[in-house]
Structure 1
Amino acid sequence: MNVLSHADSALSLLPPVVAILLAIFTRRVLLSLGVGILLGALLLTQFSLGDTSLFLVDTVKGLVWDDGALNSWNLQILGFLVMLGMITALITVSGASRAFAEWAKNRIRNKRDAKLMTVFLGCVVFIDDYFNSLVVGSISKPITDRYYISRAKLAYLLDSTAAPICVISPVSSWGAYIIALIGGILTAHGFTESGHLSVFVQMIPMNFYAIFAMLLLLCVAIWGLDVGPMRQHELKAQKGELFDESKGLPPGANADLPEADTGKIIGLFLPILALIAATLYFMISSGADVLAADGNAFSVLGAFENTEVSQSLFYGSIVGFIVTLGLAFAQKLSMELIIKGITAGARSMLPAIYILLFAWSIAGVIGQLETGKYMASLVTGAIPFALLPAVLFILAGITAFSTGTSWGTFGIMLPIAADMAMGSDSTMMLPMLSAVLAGAVFGDHCSPISDTTILSSTGASCHHIDHVITQLPYALIVALISIVGYVVLGYTASVMAGFMACCAVFAVSVVGLKYYAR
C-alpha cells in the first residue's frame, strides 16, 4: 500500500476543513467525520480505491490493535466511558440524584448558584480534562436540570473549566505532559539553571486564554450573559426543553429511567469520591512505578509526569462502579432495576463512543497527512518579531482546530516557538511558549473533532454540535482578548502590560455582553 505525505501541501488541510464545515452545516457529526476520513485516505493513497480500502481497514484495526498489541489507551478510555455511564445510571435509578437535588434545593436557591457550583467543582476536579468533564457533569446535572439551565450551558461550564484549569495546573495530566515537553526544550537550548516546574509556574500568568476564559465563564454564570445560539437554548430551557429533543437523546442521557424512593445523598457522593480517590491513587502509583524502574526518586510531580492516564481512569472507574453496585445492593434495589440501570448506562455512552472512534480515526489520517507540520511551516516568513506571540497563538489555534488535539499541537508547535525565540530574542522564549499553549486550548475549544469537546458534550448530555456552536462566540471573544494581550506583550516585552491590556479589553467585552444580553 502506497501512502504519501502532504506536509508541504495545502491539500493536507482539506480533510479536517471539509469534516468541520460539514459538521457545522449538516449537524451530522459521524457523517461529516466519515467524509473527512475518506477524503484523507484518498489523498494519502493518490485516489487508489484498492489502497484506500486497505488504508481504512488498517485505520479501523489500529483503534483496537496497534504495533502488535492491544491499543490500551483507546480501549481503556472507552472502558472508562462505559463504566462512568453505568455508574451514572445506577446513581439515577437508586434515587441518589433526586435526593441530592432535593437536598440542594434549600441551599442552591437559584440558577446563578447552580452555575457557580458547577464552576467551583470544575476548578476543584483538575487532575484530567476527560475526568473533569464527565465527573462534574454527573454531579451537576441534577441541579442544573432543576433550575432549567440548558444542557448547552452546562457543557460550556464544563468545557471552560476543564482544559483551561488543566493547562495551568502543574499537578494534572496536562501539566505533567507540558512540563516534560518544556523541560526537554529548555535543556536542548541550554537553559539548565531554572527548574522545569518553576518555569511552568512563571508561564501561568502569560496563558491569557486560559485565565480570561475562566473569568468570562464566571461573568456568564453570575450575570447570565447569554448571546447568540446560547440565548436560544436558554430560552427553550425555561420552557422545559433542556436539549433539542428533535435530535433524539444526546450522549450520556438516561431519560425515562425509574428512580427508587429510598435514595440518599451518600449514593451520589460516595461513588464519585471513590472514583476520584482511586483514580488519583492509580495515577500516582503508575507514575511511581515508572520512576522506580528508571532509578529516579519519587515525587508527586514526577509521578504525574510518568503516569498512565487512560489506565488510571479505567481502574478508577472500576472501583467507582463496584462501590456504586455495593450501595445499590445495600439499598436493596431489585436485580431487575440494577440490570436496567447498568444496560441503560452502557447504552447511553454509545453515541459518544462512536464519535470518539471517528475523531481518533480522522486524527490519525490528519497525522499522516502532516497537517500540523504544514500549519507550522506557515509561521516562517516576513513576520515582525513583536507580532510572533500573537501569530503563534493564532497558528496554534488553527492547528488545534484542524487536528482536534491540544496535545498534538503542543508537540508540534512548542519546539518551533522555542527555535524562533532563540533565533531572535531568547528573553521572549516563555511568552512565545505560553502563546502556543493558549492558542492550542482555544482551537481545541472550537473544534467539533476535539475529543475533549466531545466528552464535555457527553458529560452534560448535550448534542455535540449544539455545544460547539453555543461555546464558539465566547471562545472567539476570549481569543480576541488574548491576541490583543500578546500583541502588547510582543511590542513592550512586558507580561504585566500584556495582562493589563487583556484586562481592559475584557472589561469592555463584558460591558458589551451585558448590554447585548439585556
Structure 2
Amino acid sequence: MVNYSDSIVALVPALVAIVLAIVTRKVVISLGVGILIGALLLHSFNPLDTAVYLGKNIFSLFWADGALNEWNVLLLVFLLLLGVLSTLIQTSGGAHAFGEWATTHVKTARGARLAAFGLGILIFIDDYFNSLAVGNVSRPLTDRRGVSRAKLAYIIDSTAAPVCVISPLSSWGAFIISIIAGILTTHSITDYSAFSAFMMIVPLNFYAIFALLLTLYIAYTGIAVGPMRTHELRALQGELFDSNKGTPMGMAEEVKEHDGGKVRDLVVPIIVLVIATVTALLWTGAQALAADDRPFTLIGAFEATDVTRSLVSGVVISLIVAFLMLIGRKIPARDYRISIWAGLKSMWPAVVILLFAWTIIAVIGDMKTGDYLASFVSKSIPASYLPFLLFLIASVMAFSTGTSWGTFGIMLPIGADLIMAVDPSLLLPTLAAVLAGSVFGDHCSPISDTTILSSTGAGSHHIDHVTTQLPYALIGAAVSAVGYLILGVTGSSVFGFLGALVAFVIFLVMLNVLSRRGEVPSQLRSE
C-alpha cells in the first residue's frame, strides 16, 4: 500500500466523505464513496488490488483471525433485537396504558411537563422509540393540562438523544462503544476498554448533560422565550398548535397498538432489560477477572466485561419477558410478524451506517490521515483548541446532514487520529466533544429523523418544533463551547466542567430576565 503520511492526499477520503455527506445528505453513500476512493488511492488505482483490499476489510468485519468477529456480529444482533423489543412494547399497548394511568395521577401543567421529562429519561434504550413512545404517552396528558405541542416536542427531543448518547445500554451506547473499540485497537491503547472509555466520556459530554438540565429546568418552571412563548400563550387559550397551518403531520401506524395494555407492559420489559444487562456485564466481567486470577472489584468487572454478549443477553431476556406477558392477550400472529419485521427494519439503517463506519475507520487508518493532520495542525493550530474546534465541526456536519450517527462514524476516528498524534492526554475529551457537537447539530437540524419523529410524536408542526427548540439548543451549545475551550486550554476536565456550569447559570439568569417581560411569566408558570 502507498504511504500518504506526509502527503495532503491523506485527507482525500475523509474530506470526500464529509463534503458529500453535507452536500447530498446521504451518509451511507458518502461513506461508501470515501471508502472506495481511499482504497483506490492506497493501491494506485489498481482495480484488482482495490477489490481484494475491500473484500478483506468487509470480510474481517464478520470473521477475523480465523474466528467469528463476535464483537461486531453480536453488536449487530443487539441492535436488531432492540428494534424488535421497541415495536413489541408498542404492540402490547403498554405506552397507551401508561398515558391513561398518568392522566389520573398528574393534575397540573408542571406535573405533565415533568412526567414527559421523566418518561424521556426512563426510555433510554433508543432515541426513535423514545421519541415515539414519549409522544404517544404524554400527549393526552399535556393536552389536558394546557401544555403546547411545541413545548412537548422540545421535551421529547431534548430527552431522546441526550439520554441515549450517555447510556451504555442504549443503541447509541452500543454504536459509540463499537467505534471507540476500533479506535483503541488502531492506536494500540490497552490502558482501558472501550466500555470504560465510554463511561469516562459521559461526564465530559457537556451538551448532553446541560441540555438535560436545561430541559428539566424548563419543564419545572414553565419558562418560555422566543417563538416558544407564542405557542405557550396560544395553548393557554386552548389552541395547542397553530391551527392556521392545518393539522400537524401524523404517523402512518405500521404497528398496531392493541387494547388491554397495562402499564407493566411498558415498564417491566425496560426494567428487565436494565437489570439483565447489568447482571450480565458483572457476570462476564467477574468470569474474566477469575480467569486472570484477579480479585473481583466493581470497576474491574466493568472494565473486563464482555459488552456485546451482555447486551445481547439482556435484550433476549427482556424480549422473552415481553412475549410471556402477552400470552393470553389474543393478539393475532400476523400482528406479531408485522411488529417483529417493523422492529428489524427500524434498526437496519443503523446497521448499515455501522458497517460503513467500521470500514472507513480502517481506510482512514491505512491512509495515515491522523499522522498527516497532526503534523499540519501541530504547526498551525495548538492542540489545546482541538476539542473546541472539533465540537464546532461536528455540530456543522450533523446539522447539515441531519444525522448524529453518521457524524459519529466520520468524525470520531478523524478526531482520534488527530489528537493522538499531538496530545494523547486529550483523547477522551476530544471524543466527548465530537459526540456533543454531533448531538447538538442533530438537534437543530430540520432534516434530522429524530427531530421529525419528535414533531410527529408530539403532534406539532415540524417547522414550529425546529424554531421553538433552537434558542434552547443554542444555550446548550454555547455552554458546551465554553467548557471545551477551557478544558483544552487548562488541560483539566474539572475546570472545563466548572466553566460550563458557570456559563449555564448565567444563561439561566438571562432566561429568567427575558421571561419576566410583560404578563407572560405568571401565566406560563401557573400550574
- TM-score, length basis structure 1: 0.68
SS state at 1:256 partner: coil
Match of 2:389 in 1: 394
SS state at 2:2 partner: coil
Q: 1:279-338 deviations in whole A, cap 9, x for unaligned?
A: 111111111111111111111111111222222111111111111111122434333333
Instruction: Select which of 287, 292, 298 maps to 1:294.
Output: 292
Match of 2:164 in 1: 162
Contact in 1 for aligned 2:14/2:410 (Cα 8 Å): no
Match of 1:25 in 2: 23
The answer to whether the aligner puts 1:273 opposite 2:259 as a matched pair is: no
Using a 3 Å threshold, how does the CA distance of structure 1 residues 270 and 187 change in structure 2: closer, same or farther? closer
The Cα shift of 1:509 comes to: 7.9
Q: Distance in 2 between matches of 1:377 and 1:236?
A: 57
Q: What amino acid is the match of 2:268? A: L
Q: Distance in 1 between matches of 2:265 and 2:246?
A: 30
Q: What amino acid is the match of 2:164? A: A
Match of 2:136 in 1: 142
Q: Distance in 2 between matches of 1:499 and 1:316?
A: 36
Q: Percent identity?
A: 34
Q: Distance in 1 between matches of 2:471 and 2:311?
A: 32
Contact in 2 for aligned 1:206/1:499 (Cα 8 Å): no
Match of 1:404 in 2: 409
* Mapping for residues 343-382 of structure 1, pairs under 5 Å: 343-381=341-379
The answer to whether the aligner puts 1:93 opposite 2:103 as a matched pair is: no
- Report which stretch shifted further, 35-44 or 279-288: 35-44
Q: Distance in 2 between matches of 1:403 and 1:6?
A: 24
Match of 2:403 in 1: none
Q: Distance in 1 between matches of 2:174 and 2:375?
A: 31
RMSD value, Cα: 5.1
Q: 1:489-516 deviations in whole A, cap 9, x for unaligned?
A: 747999397356634764588589989x
- Report which stretch shifted further, 489-498 or 260-269: 489-498
- Report which stretch shifted further, 28-37 or 73-82: 28-37
Instruction: Select which of 431, 438, 441 maps to 2:435.
Output: 441
The Cα shift of 1:227 comes to: 8.0
- Report which stretch shifted further, 337-346 or 406-415: 406-415
The answer to whether the aligner puts 1:502 opposite 2:503 as a matched pair is: yes
SS state at 1:349 partner: helix
Q: 1:80-130 deviations in whole A, cap 9, x for unaligned?
A: 12212222222222222221222233446789766654654565688xxxx
Q: Distance in 2 between matches of 1:392 and 1:209?
A: 13
The answer to whether the aligner puts 1:45 opposite 2:40 as a matched pair is: no
Q: Distance in 1 between matches of 2:321 and 2:247?
A: 33
Using a 3 Å threshold, how does the CA distance of structure 1 residues 238 and 509 change in structure 2: closer, same or farther? farther
Contact in 1 for aligned 2:92/2:265 (Cα 8 Å): yes
* Mapping for residues 109-188 of structure 1, pairs under 5 Å: 116-117=114-115, 119-120=117-118, 131=125, 133=127, 136=130, 139-143=133-137, 148=149, 154-164=156-166
SS state at 2:261 partner: coil
Match of 1:318 in 2: 316
Q: Distance in 2 between matches of 1:110 and 1:35?
A: 53
The Cα shift of 1:483 comes to: 4.0
SS state at 1:380 partner: helix
The Cα shift of 1:220 comes to: 6.5
Q: Distance in 2 between matches of 1:62 and 1:227?
A: 51
Q: What amino acid is the match of 2:336? A: I
SS state at 1:381 partner: helix
Q: Distance in 1 between matches of 2:45 and 2:482?
A: 43
Q: Distance in 2 between matches of 1:54 and 1:109?
A: 65
Q: Distance in 2 between matches of 1:447 and 1:374?
A: 27
Contact in 2 for aligned 1:151/1:461 (Cα 8 Å): yes
Q: 1:382-412 deviations in whole A, cap 9, x for unaligned?
A: 667xxx5334432477589776278757865
Q: Distance in 2 between matches of 1:50 and 1:513?
A: 64
* Mapping for residues 159-238 of structure 1, pairs under 5 Å: 159-164=161-166, 208-209=206-207, 211-218=209-216, 223=223
Match of 2:68 in 1: 70
The answer to whether the aligner puts 1:259 opposite 2:254 as a matched pair is: no
Q: Distance in 2 between matches of 1:356 and 1:226?
A: 38
- Report which stretch shifted further, 144-153 or 308-317: 144-153
Q: Distance in 2 between matches of 1:214 and 1:504?
A: 14
Q: Distance in 2 between matches of 1:33 and 1:236?
A: 41
Match of 2:400 in 1: none
Q: Distance in 2 between matches of 1:100 and 1:261?
A: 12
Q: Distance in 2 between matches of 1:502 and 1:472?
A: 18
Contact in 1 for aligned 2:75/2:174 (Cα 8 Å): no
The Cα shift of 1:371 comes to: 3.0
The Cα shift of 1:257 comes to: 2.5
Q: Distance in 2 between matches of 1:389 and 1:21?
A: 26
Match of 1:252 in 2: none
* Mapping for residues 416-431 of structure 1, pairs under 5 Å: none
The Cα shift of 1:214 comes to: 3.6
Q: 1:344-377 deviations in whole A, cap 9, x for unaligned?
A: 3223333332333333333332333233444444
SS state at 1:295 partner: coil
Using a 3 Å threshold, how does the CA distance of structure 1 residues 491 and 505 change in structure 2: closer, same or farther? farther
Using a 3 Å threshold, how does the CA distance of structure 1 residues 32 and 438 change in structure 2: closer, same or farther? closer
Q: What amino acid is the match of 2:359? A: S
SS state at 1:46 partner: coil
Contact in 2 for aligned 1:212/1:478 (Cα 8 Å): yes
Q: Distance in 2 between matches of 1:408 and 1:208?
A: 20
Q: Distance in 1 between matches of 2:20 and 2:43?
A: 23
The Cα shift of 1:15 comes to: 2.9
Contact in 2 for aligned 1:122/1:162 (Cα 8 Å): no
Q: What amino acid is the match of 2:301? A: A
Using a 3 Å threshold, how does the CA distance of structure 1 residues 7 and 348 change in structure 2: closer, same or farther? same
SS state at 1:4 partner: coil
Match of 2:238 in 1: none
Count of residue pairs brought into register by the alignment: 458
Match of 1:56 in 2: 54
